[in-house]
Amino acid sequence: MKVARILATVAALLCATRLDAQQYFGMNQVQYKHFDWRVIETEHFLVHYYPEERAGAMDAARMAERSYARLAKILDHQFREKKPIILFASRSEFAQNNVTGDLGEGTGGVTEASRHRLILPLTGDLGSFEHVLAHEMTHEFQYDIFARGKAGQNLQTLNQVDPPLWFMEGMAEYLSIGPVHPLTASWLRDAAVNGNLPTIEQMTERPDKYFPYRYGEALWEYVGERWGDAAIGEILQNSTTLGIARAFQRQLGLTLHELSDDWREAVNAKYLPQAAVLDRPRTFAQPLLTEKKSGGQIFLAPSLSNDGNRIAFLSNGNEKRGELFIDLWLADARTGKRIKRLVESTTNPNFEELRLLYSQSAFSNDGRTLAFTAQREGKDVLYLMDVASANVRARLDLPVEAVWSPVWSPDDRQIAFSGARGGITDIFIVNADGKNLRQMTNDKYGDLQPAWSPDGKRIAFASDRSPDTDLSILKVAKWRINVMDVQSGAIEVVPGQGGLNLNPQWSPDGRELAFISDRTGIPNVFLTTSEISSTTRSRTFSAA
């Protein structure tokens, strides 16, 4: 009840006003769309939005105040001026801002140190959006503390202290996610098993090698667990005058070297015994796409053809041939050997980006055509490519801002996908010729990763819709696997789910659903029967 009252009060503070003098965030950036900026003013923020995203912006404003209240308490700091939040409805439109320019597809949001503007797109589901918002909000607090409450001041102090990435990004991850994060745990478990757990000095000197988001988050989690989250605020406050090393020593009574040793010892003590009783992947599976077999170092979004002979994936290539960027490739699914590059995004204006973090391609059932998403002229386009010739057979320009995870109907006549309008995702179906677009869901829930059943009657998908979600107070559950009846539109949440559940896939006979869940604390493959009964079996293995 207390949470509901707080959010109701926050909602009452929201008021939408039109800017008298237009601030145009995108004037000098490549422009495909005119943004008619409006402002929602809350107690601590000026939320800039345009009419198409108003519903999402109202929720974002409430979430901003919620994150502010929590972080202000933890970090013992209050804003003295209202901070600007600039919202875009999609990744493509976020790329058109002229505050930072296009920072690339891997950037989910950004906060600038000089004017304290927080800029981010709506992600399509409220849970992941609130994570990004709270992460960037932590940066707002970090910069405001260094600036002593006035944007643009004391930048020289920030530059002199030069907080390392594990300090800044790790803190933002920990304070936005909390102490339980299976993804970070998998990184630590893997590092412990393979003897690659970095020291604080290594994290400081080589953020390119030791990912500061995961390892930095883990270090702050250790600090919070041992000394309490209030110690994080004290360290941050003290770092502005004492520097990073002395701030830690003053608050914790340990040098960074001593803290590093204690943290690494605690990580090994926690994860090595766990790993000892888990199956290694190599005991029941073999790697397919690897640097040795396939070339390249990055492999993302694999899609297997129905006959099991070919696999499409996103990857870089051979450095000696200049294949440095992420492109769409085809490989032999038996050997992992690359067959050819299907899309070279850096030289073709039709494929400005390939949605490497949000989507994957899909083979038609006959294996002749590949459906995939690419950005063209500032919006997502659904492409249908002839696999044999690598020629585009059709380009479907759809009236949505984002297109993710296309999947073919069993007769290859229709394609289902997750599409976004105003920053809110729903499940859509369109004919393979681009006609007869149908919106199958229409609500504020995030609906993603559709999978069409072999009989064509159902679509399974991941969504935050569940009995644990209450949108009136913006209480959002982790993703659950849902099943929709295509004809009636009726949706059933698969019961008995815990943790984060994603990537549903039907068995060939349509009797089972396979999906990934981290309910045990480690992402694993689970199976459930088509009667939507409780999960029947799973395999557990270490991330090493």
Residue 445 lies in a domain: no
Asked whether residue 246 falls in the same domain as residue 328, the answer is no
Q: Pick from 448, 457, 429, 427: which is nearest to 530 by CA? A: 457
Residue 451 lies in a domain: no
pLDDT band with cut points at 50, 70 and 90 for residue 260: very high
Q: Last residue of a domain, which of 224, 251, 276?
A: 276
pLDDT (0 to 100) of residue 119 = 97
Total domains in the fold of the chain: 3
Is residue 287 predicted with pLDDT exceeding 50? yes
Contacts 24+ apart (CB under 8 A), 477-483: 477/127, 478/127, 479/125, 479/127, 479/446, 479/448, 481/513, 481/515, 481/528, 482/447, 483/458, 483/459, 483/513, 483/532
Asked whether residue 304 falls in the same domain as residue 389, the answer is yes
Residue 308 lies in a domain: yes
pLDDT (0 to 100) of residue 82 = 97
Is residue 204 predicted with pLDDT exceeding 70? yes
Is residue 347 predicted with pLDDT exceeding 90? no
Region of 78 please: left (phi>0), alpha (psi -120 to 50) or beta: beta
Could you list the residue range(s) of the whole structural domain that residue 310 is in? 284-439
Whichever domain contains 295, its CATH number is 2.120.10.30
Q: Last residue of a domain, which of 439, 472, 488?
A: 439
Asked whether residue 272 falls in the same domain as residue 295, the answer is no
Asked whether residue 49 falls in the same domain as residue 158, the answer is yes
Is residue 282 predicted with pLDDT exceeding 50? yes
Residue 449 lies in a domain: no
Residue 446 lies in a domain: no
| pTM across the whole model | 0.89
pLDDT (0 to 100) of residue 281 = 81
pLDDT band with cut points at 50, 70 and 90 for residue 29: low
Rounded CA separation 242/122 (Å): 37
Asked whether residue 199 falls in the same domain as residue 119, the answer is yes
Q: Compute, in degrees rounded to 10, the torsion defined by CA atoms 73, 498, 225, 165.
A: -80
Query: Hey, what are 317's tokens?
Result: 């290539």
pLDDT (0 to 100) of residue 332 = 97
pLDDT (0 to 100) of residue 222 = 98
Asked whether residue 227 falls in the same domain as residue 140, the answer is yes
Asked whether residue 267 falls in the same domain as residue 364, the answer is no
Asked whether residue 466 falls in the same domain as residue 542, the answer is yes
Is residue 479 predicted with pLDDT exceeding 70? yes
Residue 369, SS3? strand
Asked whether residue 507 falls in the same domain as residue 414, the answer is no
Residue 447 lies in a domain: no
pLDDT (0 to 100) of residue 538 = 37
Residue 444 lies in a domain: no
Average pLDDT, the chain: 89
Beta strand pairing call for 45-49 and 83-88? parallel
Question: Which residue would you say has higher pLDDT here, 349 or 214?
Answer: 214
Residue with tokens 């994570």: 131
CA max distance for the chain: 67
Asked whether residue 181 falls in the same domain as residue 218, the answer is yes
Q: Last residue of a domain, which of 276, 306, 322?
A: 276
pLDDT band with cut points at 50, 70 and 90 for residue 541: very low
Asked whether residue 137 falls in the same domain as residue 159, the answer is yes
CA of 492: how far to CAs of 47, 128, 445, 486, in Å?
A: 35, 22, 14, 12
Q: Which residues have a Cβ under 8 Å from the Cβ of 60 and sit 6 or more positions away?
A: 47, 49, 85, 87, 122, 129, 133
Query: Hey, what are 410's tokens?
Result: 């069993």
411 class by beta-carbon count within 10 Å (0-12 exposed, 13-18 middle, 19+ buried): exposed
Q: Pick from 269, 153, 262: which is nearest to 199 by CA? A: 262
Asked whether residue 171 falls in the same domain as residue 91, the answer is yes
Residue 448 lies in a domain: no
Is residue 177 predicted with pLDDT exceeding 90? yes
Question: Which residue would you say has higher pLDDT here, 532 or 541?
Answer: 532
Bridge partners, residue 124, by sequence: 424
Whichever domain contains 47, its CATH number is 1.10.390
Rounded CA separation 49/39 (Å): 6
pLDDT (0 to 100) of residue 185 = 95
pLDDT (0 to 100) of residue 378 = 86
Is residue 402 predicted with pLDDT exceeding 70? yes
pLDDT band with cut points at 50, 70 and 90 for residue 22: very low
Q: Which of 239-248, 344-353, 368-377, 441-450 is predicted with the least confidence, judged by mean pLDDT?
A: 344-353
